[in-house]
Amino acid sequence: MSPLGHLILARLREFYREPAALFWTYGFPTLLALALGLAFRGGDGRATPIAVIEGPFASERAAVLAQDPGLSVRTVSPRDVDSLFLGGGIVLAVGADPALEYRFDDTHPESEAVRRRVDDHLQRAAGRIDPLPTRDRPVTAPGSRYIDFLIPGLIGMNIMSSSMWGIGYTIVEARKRRLLKRLAATPMRHGDFLLSFILARLIFLATEVAILLAFAVLVFDVVVQGSWLWIAALSVAGAMAFAGLAMLAASRTQSTETVSGLMNLIMLPMWVLSGVFFASSHFPDWMQPMIKPLPLTLLNDAMRAVINEGATSAQVALPFAVLSVGAALTRVVAVRVFRWN
Amino acid sequence: MAHPNDDSAAVRVRGLVKRYGDLVAVNGLDLDIANGECFGLLGPNGAGKTTTVEILEGLLPCDAGDVTILGRTWRDGRKLRQRIGIALQETHLADRLTVHETVTMFRSFFDRGRTPDQVIALVGLEDKRDAWVVKLSGGQRQRLAIACALVGDPELLFLDEPTTGLDPQSRRRLWDVVSDFRGQGRSCILTTHYMEEAERLCDRVAIIDHGRIIAQGTPTHLIGQLGGTQVVEFRASPDVDEVFCRSLPGVSGISRFQQRWRLTVVALNRTVPALVDALRDRGADLADLTTHQASLEDVFIALTGRALRGDA
Ligand SMILES: Nc1ncnc2c1ncn2[C@@H]1O[C@H](COP(=O)(O)OP(=O)(O)OP(=O)(O)O)[C@@H](O)[C@H]1O
Ligand SMILES: [Mg+2]
């Protein structure tokens, strides 16, 4: 076998013989998807909790609302209302006065819709006749649940952290142990050593992404709208971009503490800003020009477009190209400045 | 196996200088090592042995001087790397590879060489062939490092303190490995703190201090320079002075080491009785009298700043 083959084999062995690495690469993202998917499960028929405040009209109004299976109604005393709102026990409360008064937290995403729905029920019960008959047909569009949003982000986050830790930390550790120096003392081609990290990463990447996607499809019925080929291409481009960043961070660093700090400094902002757990559009407009070009934002947005919206090649070609160029540039610089001792 | 030689010297060094900031680690060092020679570098901690060796290995840049290894310079490094074997003073190989996997990987870097199992047997690690490196003892790891140095079947071997931390049996085994290697007409440079090792393995040694060679030659030659073949060490109370020591018969060298007098003498049976008598005449007590055959150790003590010259 070629020296490169032996180096790749060494990478693979070091990885699968390290239980902690296995857990962080495969176990952790899957568990996270499971936990978040269960917590934010939508469209499962769970009724929205609302309250009717005690008073002369309370029982009558409660009876009307109870007919809607999408609502779970309770009658409460005025004293308890505030604490129920605080604890998230109710989304909306109907006042006790003859005139309808709705109390709701207008920052809550469901409150507007619930208010309209409750108001419709009570107005119609009081005799309102709608000029045009209406009919509701709820659409659970594929790709619109939280888990659909989450999975592409988790894939992106996992590609980022396993590329960074698997390469950056391992290289600095080898330098600290003077293993890099020892290897540099052999006729080994220096390029082979760094290439072995890249190629081993691609092997891990395939399994990482496949496991997470399979989990999403089988457990949460996530539907992949776009092309699997684009998922693969984006994964590779993203992994290479982060591998380049990791090599850059590790190229001269002497201590594992320093490289850990450095990599966290690179990754933490992206965890928050790049739309892993919530959309990056929540951040103010003036921040968007800074968020959009981050590699994880590019990867997550493109991955989401492919998986959830079935984006066409034309739509994801740009982020793919940017990630690929970034990967090439970081790698060239890293190889230039790399220190073997 | 004979190797083609385009030059008769394994190593040729002229005016080597290496500085770390203000510290001059190697200070104008010249060295000539012939093909087939085993050469030892001795010297106290921080003398500059590792720095010198790593410059010769092409792992450290030097600030001045010329280095030629096997007739080549490090400018055309890769070909040279095929012909040398290296064990650094300290390397931690990958924890979770086995002994055999590690040696096999190193073997793959060389165009030719011995089989991994051969060198594993050579350093006596057959039992640990399939054990992870992390599960080896310190001495076993050191032997693995030497197996990795030998697997490319080098013409020139660099060993930086190869036996530090080894038990006596492993050390002896390693001496056999190096002796065999030298027996095949190959060259070797080793650094060591063990004089016995240098005497046994090395054709020539150099004693280094503060980045300079302060003595060089065959072990016998260096010991011969002491002027005697035996060493007498003693302590007296009340203490005596250098004039007293010089007055004794057959004394060729005098040094002071750890509050004791060290005399290099030609014949014990002349000097020791005279010493006992002279102390009795002065009414001084003799404490800690020891004698031994002069060795490189005595050369080392006589030369590395612990010589009488300049001492109180
Ligand atoms: N990277 C470095 N930076 C600064 N000083 C260094 C460095 N490496 C070595 N030195 C200094 O250079 C001097 C020579 O060190 P060297 O390692 O060559 O000694 P040595 O003879 O091998 O000692 P030992 O027997 O302890 O291995 C020492 O004073 C050491 O402190
Ligand atoms: Mg040293």
Q: What is the mean pLDDT of residues A55-69?
A: 88
Minimal Cα–Cα distance from A194 to chain B, Å?
A: 15
Neighbours of ion ligand 2 (CB under 5 A): B 49-50, 89
- CB–CB of B67/B225 below 8 Å? no
Residue B5 is predicted with a pLDDT of 46
Count of C-beta atoms within a 10 Å radius of residue A79: 9
Minimal Cα–Cα distance from B127 to chain A, Å?
A: 21
Distance in Å from the first CA to the final CA of chain B: 55
Determine the CATH number of domain A48-125. Answer: 3.40.190.10
Q: Which of A14, A169, A178, A182 to mutate to test the interface with B (most CBs of B within 10 A)?
A: A182
Q: What is the mean pLDDT of residues B181-187?
A: 92
Q: Ligand 1: which of B45, B91, B192, B208 to mutate, most ligand atoms within 8 Å of CB? A: B45
- With an 8 Å Cβ cutoff, are B91 and A7 in contact? no
Residue B222 is predicted with a pLDDT of 85
B269-296 tens-digit pLDDT: 889 999 999 999 988 888 888 888 887 7
Q: What's B307's DSSP letter?
A: B
Domain residue extents for chain A: 3-39+142-337, 48-125
Tokens in use for A159?
């590609």
E strand intervals along A67-201: 71-76, 92-94, 102-104
Residue of A nearest to B58 (CA): A185
Longest CA span, chain B: 73
Can you spell out the DSSP letters for B125-166?
-GGGTTSBGGGS-HHHHHHHHHHHHHTT--SEEEEESTTTT-
Tokens in use for B278?
């002279």
Confidence at B65, pLDDT banded by 50, 70, 90 = very high
Closest ligand 1 atom to residue B21 Cα is 4
Q: CB-based contact (8 Å) between A22 and chain B?
A: no
Is residue B4's pLDDT more than 70? no
Residue A36 is predicted with a pLDDT of 82
E strand intervals along chain B: 9-20, 23-34, 38-42, 64-69, 84-87, 156-160, 187-192, 204-209, 212-217, 230-237, 251-257, 260-265, 285-293
Nearest to B50 by CA among B157, B147, B158: B158
Indicate the fold that domain B227-293 takes in CATH: Alpha-Beta Plaits (3.30.70)
Confidence at A34, pLDDT banded by 50, 70, 90 = confident
Measured between alpha carbons, how far is A162 from B87 in angstroms, rounded to an integer?
33
Q: How far is the CA of B66 from the centre of ligand 2 (A)?
A: 21
- With an 8 Å Cβ cutoff, are A185 and B57 in contact? yes
CATH number for domain B9-218, candidates 3.40.50.300, 3.50.50.60, 3.30.70.20, 1.10.760.10: 3.40.50.300
Nearest to B15 by CA among B7, B5, B2, B26: B26
Measured between alpha carbons, how far is A163 from A142 in angstroms, rounded to an integer?
30
Domain residue extents for chain B: 9-218, 227-293
Helix boundaries (H) for A164-279: 170-176, 179-184, 190-220, 228-250, 256-273
Measured between alpha carbons, how far is B55 from B74 in angstroms, rounded to an integer?
10
Is residue B163's pLDDT more than 70? yes
Q: CB-based contact (8 Å) between B75 and chain A?
A: no
Is residue B125's pLDDT more than 90? yes
Is residue B306's pLDDT more than 60? no
* Contact list, B72 vs chain A (CB under 8 Å): none
DSSP H or E segment with residue A3: helix A3-16
A89-118 tens-digit pLDDT: 888 899 888 888 898 877 777 778 888 888
Q: Nearest CB to A186: which of B81, B94, B95?
A: B81
Cβ of B47 below 6 Å from ligand 1? yes
Measured between alpha carbons, how far is B111 from B58 in angstroms, rounded to an integer?
19
- In our burial notation (b when 16+ CB lie closer than 10 A, e otherwise), range B33-72 reads bebbbbbbbbbeeebbbbbbbbbbbbbbebeebebbbbeb
* φ/ψ bin of B202: left (φ > 0), alpha (ψ from -120 to 50), beta (otherwise): beta
Q: How far is the CA of B193 from the centre of ligand 1 (A)?
A: 15
Q: Is the ipTM here above 0.90?
A: no
- Report the DSSP pairing between strands A71-76 and A48-53: parallel
Tokens in use for A46?
């769970």
Is residue A50's pLDDT more than 70? yes
* Sign of CA pseudo-dihedral A305, A146, A138, A282: negative
Residue A148 is predicted with a pLDDT of 86
Percentage of chain A surpassing pLDDT 70?
95
- CB–CB of B133/B95 below 8 Å? yes
Residue of A nearest to B82 (CA): A187
A275-298 tens-digit pLDDT: 998 889 889 999 999 999 999 999
Distances (CA, A) of A230 to A67, A117, B177, B206: 47, 41, 57, 65
Confidence at A140, pLDDT banded by 50, 70, 90 = low
Question: Which residue in the block uniquely carries the two structure tokens 């309250």?
Answer: A51
A248-266 tens-digit pLDDT: 999 999 999 999 999 999 9
